[in-house]
């Protein structure tokens, strides 16, 4: 479609992303036909592609392309002692407040922050939070009654039982972080791969958290996926490794195409630090609407906390023998951690754009376009015969098969509806290039390649299309 004018508008809101995600098959509400199960989501045909592309890029960047990194895929269920040693049984809590009237549940620190404007709420004990809530005589934000309970600690680990549910059954937890699998396998990893300190282990996998206040679409969910690195260093080199990983995380932010002005780094103060961390930085993203700056990723110095606790609890020597220096020590650990869902969400938010356009007939139109980095886009290209005529569809299908084969990636094929509508659909799902086979193709053996972002069109010989796309997708 020829255009007279194009005007960009500031666009992304959470509502628009949720609607597009459902409409185009990225993310569906979980158990939808039963009215949904709150805060569970399923990834549709395009969502699973975007998610896999994120995970693949992460794995290539941090595991395959680095000689100091190896991979692991540990189980979700682990020996319950793991979570005693790691401190999660005692420390992995959120402060909870109930309303006695309407039974709504709230995070006490969130109530203090959002309703009473107390900035450092997370650093306060449940007793301190209770005192502040009572002093303010705060009403339940849901029903308005002044019937909030005292704040109490609530452990966020889901548990289940192995074997029959009786005294013989063994209580186990669904892991709340993937990290512990790496610490528990650290000795086997050292023994079977030729890595030497400093080295890191990357892992992608599910984790589960019984969040009190999940929500904001896929921002805070109960079942999440983490991409985590535990990087083992000499104790005296951990501060330098922390800085190296800070830089590497910024490189990742750029790689996935986020606008750097939407991301900032915030240092935890001492009271906010997790029980295992001596220093933590949060990468925060500026979410639209009332959400504002919220955690996207984390970078922590876990010192030798985890290895020391597992050594003590298991009785297994986890020290590292440094041959060159002829010494033994427990390595310190730097942990860059990335949530898959938050990557997915921020990538969608940043990519979403609307353009007010006017076609040659003067008709106003809004073009929704998902400006995803090509390496993340579900489809890298779409082949569109101009009309559903056998002479065009035969050539188009052949080109489609060749591209899928030669690019070894997902390509779409669409011969339905008019070409304008098909372009709009591909814009909305983020396909960077559309290849149109028209009647001229039968004469000149070339197709029109339309660029998603600029809508510029270029004539390219069919034989050159693979090379053309390969250059641009990378």
**Binding residue for ligand GAP (CB under 6 A) from 177, 306, 412, 427?**
177
Gap between the Cα atoms of 100 and 140, Å rounded:
9
Closest CA to 305 of 330, 283, 323: 330
Q: Which is nearer to ligand GAP, 220 or 310 (CB)?
A: 220
**Binding residue for ligand GAP (CB under 6 A) from 47, 200, 202, 298?**
298
Q: Does 425 bind ligand GAP (CB under 6 A)?
A: no
Please measure the distance between the N-terminal and C-terminal CA atoms of the chain and give it in whole angstroms: 27
- Inter-residue contact 153 to 93 (CB < 8 Å): yes
- Which residues, at least 6 apart from 174, have a Cβ–Cβ distance to it below 8 Å? 76, 77, 157, 158, 159, 160, 207, 208
**Binding residue for ligand GAP (CB under 6 A) from 237, 272, 284, 295?**
295
Choose one: 144-152, 292-300, 365-373, 457-465; the region binding ligand GAP (CB under 6 A).
Answer: 292-300
Convert 274-300 to b/e letters by CB count within 10 Å (16 or more is b). Answer: eebbebbbbbbbbbbeeeeeeebbbbb
Q: Which is nearer to ligand GAP, 189 or 345 (CB)?
A: 345
Q: Does 226 bind ligand GAP (CB under 6 A)?
A: yes
**Least spacing, CB of residue 76 vs ligand GAP, in Å:** 14
Q: Hey, what are 87's tokens?
A: 């401190």
The burial of 119, by beta-carbon neighbours within 10 Å (0-12 exposed, 13-18 middle, 19 or more buried), is given as: exposed
**Least spacing, CB of residue 186 vs ligand GAP, in Å:** 15
**Least spacing, CB of residue 341 vs ligand GAP, in Å:** 5
Gap between the Cα atoms of 366 and 9, Å rounded:
10
Q: How many helices (H) and strands (E) does the chain have?
A: 15, 24
**Least spacing, CB of residue 288 vs ligand GAP, in Å:** 17
CA angle 343, 348, 350 (to 5 degrees): 95
**Least spacing, CB of residue 196 vs ligand GAP, in Å:** 24
**Binding residue for ligand GAP (CB under 6 A) from 114, 150, 211, 428?**
211
**Least spacing, CB of residue 70 vs ligand GAP, in Å:** 18
Q: Which is nearer to ligand GAP, 247 or 325 (CB)?
A: 247
**Binding residue for ligand GAP (CB under 6 A) from 55, 332, 342, 424?**
342
CA angle 425, 431, 437 (to 5 degrees): 80
Choose one: 21-29, 190-198, 250-258, 337-345; the region binding ligand GAP (CB under 6 A).
Answer: 337-345
Choose one: 67-75, 105-113, 186-194, 218-226; the region binding ligand GAP (CB under 6 A).
Answer: 218-226
Choose one: 57-65, 120-128, 219-227, 390-398; the region binding ligand GAP (CB under 6 A).
Answer: 219-227
- Inter-residue contact 175 to 207 (CB < 8 Å): yes
The region, left, alpha or beta by phi > 0 then psi within -120 to 50, assigned to residue 224 is: beta
Parallel/antiparallel/unpaired status of strands 69-72 and 199-208:
parallel
**Least spacing, CB of residue 228 vs ligand GAP, in Å:** 6
Cα dihedral 387/388/389/394 (nearest 10): 110
Parallel/antiparallel/unpaired status of strands 93-98 and 152-155:
antiparallel
Q: Does 297 bind ligand GAP (CB under 6 A)?
A: yes
Q: Does 272 bind ligand GAP (CB under 6 A)?
A: no
**Least spacing, CB of residue 95 vs ligand GAP, in Å:** 16
Q: Does 309 bind ligand GAP (CB under 6 A)?
A: no
CA angle 343, 223, 232 (to 5 degrees): 65
Which residue has tokens 């889901």?
158
**Least spacing, CB of residue 345 vs ligand GAP, in Å:** 9
The count of residues interacting with ligand GAP (CB under 6 A) is 17
- Inter-residue contact 238 to 301 (CB < 8 Å): yes
Phi/psi at 126 (nearest 5 deg)? -55, -35
**Least spacing, CB of residue 272 vs ligand GAP, in Å:** 11
Using Cβ positions, the residue closest to ligand GAP within the complex turns out to be: 339
**Least spacing, CB of residue 297 vs ligand GAP, in Å:** 5
Q: Does 221 bind ligand GAP (CB under 6 A)?
A: yes
Q: Which is nearer to ligand GAP, 179 or 410 (CB)?
A: 179
Gap between the Cα atoms of 249 and 296, Å rounded:
11
**Binding residue for ligand GAP (CB under 6 A) from 49, 341, 412, 414?**
341
Q: Which residues bind ligand GAP (CB under 6 A)?
A: 177, 179, 209, 211, 220-221, 224, 226, 228, 295, 297-298, 335, 337, 339, 341-342
């Amino acid at each position: 479609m020829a255009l007279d004018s194009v005007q960009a508008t500031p666009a992304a809101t959470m509502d628009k992303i949720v609607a597009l995600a459902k409409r185009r098959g990225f993310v569906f509400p979980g158990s939808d036909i039963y009215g949904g199960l709150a805060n569970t989501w399923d990834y549709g045909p395009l969502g699973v592609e975007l998610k896999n592309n994120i995970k693949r890029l992460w794995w290539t960047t941090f595991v395959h392309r680095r000689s100091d990194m190896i991979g692991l895929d540990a189980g979700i269920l682990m020996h319950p002692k793991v979570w005693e040693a790691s401190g999660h049984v005692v420390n992995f809590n959120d402060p909870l407040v109930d309303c006695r009237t309407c039974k709504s549940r709230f995070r006490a620190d969130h109530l203090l922050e959002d309703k009473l404007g107390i900035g450092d709420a997370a650093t306060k004990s449940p007793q301190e939070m209770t005192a502040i809530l009572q002093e303010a005589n705060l009403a339940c934000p849901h029903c308005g009654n002044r019937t909030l309970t005292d704040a109490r600690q609530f452990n966020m680990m889901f548990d289940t039982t192995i074997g029959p549910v009786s005294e013989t059954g063994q209580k186990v937890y669904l892991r709340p972080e993937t990290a512990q699998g790496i610490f528990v396998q650290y000795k086997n990893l050292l023994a079977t791969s030729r890595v030497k300190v400093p080295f890191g282990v990357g892992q992608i996998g599910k984790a589960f958290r019984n969040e009190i206040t999940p929500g904001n679409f896929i921002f805070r969910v109960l079942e999440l996926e983490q991409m985590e690195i535990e990087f083992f260093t000499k104790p005296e080199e951990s501060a330098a490794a922390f800085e190296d990983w800070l830089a590497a995380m910024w490189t990742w932010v750029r790689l996935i195409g986020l606008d750097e002005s939407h991301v900032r780094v915030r240092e935890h103060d001492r009271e906010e630090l997790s029980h295992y961390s001596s220093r933590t930085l949060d990468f925060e993203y500026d979410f639209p609407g009332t959400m504002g700056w919220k955690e996207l990723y984390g970078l922590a110095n876990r010192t030798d906390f985890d290895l020391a606790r597992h050594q003590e609890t298991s009785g297994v020597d986890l020290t590292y023998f440094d041959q060159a220096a002829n010494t033994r020590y427990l390595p310190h650990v730097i942990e860059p951690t990335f949530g898959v869902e938050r990557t997915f969400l921020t990538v969608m938010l940043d990519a979403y754009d609307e353009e007010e356009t006017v076609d040659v007939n003067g008709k106003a139109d809004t073009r929704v376009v998902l400006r995803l980095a090509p390496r993340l886009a579900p489809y890298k290209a779409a082949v569109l015969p101009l009309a559903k005529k056998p002479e065009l569809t035969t050539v188009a299908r052949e080109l489609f098969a060749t591209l899928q084969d030669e690019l070894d990636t997902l390509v779409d094929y669409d011969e339905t509806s008019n070409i304008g509508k098909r372009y709009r659909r591909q814009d909305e799902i983020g396909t960077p290039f559309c290849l149109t086979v028209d009647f001229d193709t039968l004469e000149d053996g070339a197709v029109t390649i339309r660029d998603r972002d600029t809508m510029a069109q270029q004539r390219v010989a069919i034989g050159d299309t693979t090379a053309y796309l390969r250059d641009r997708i990378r």
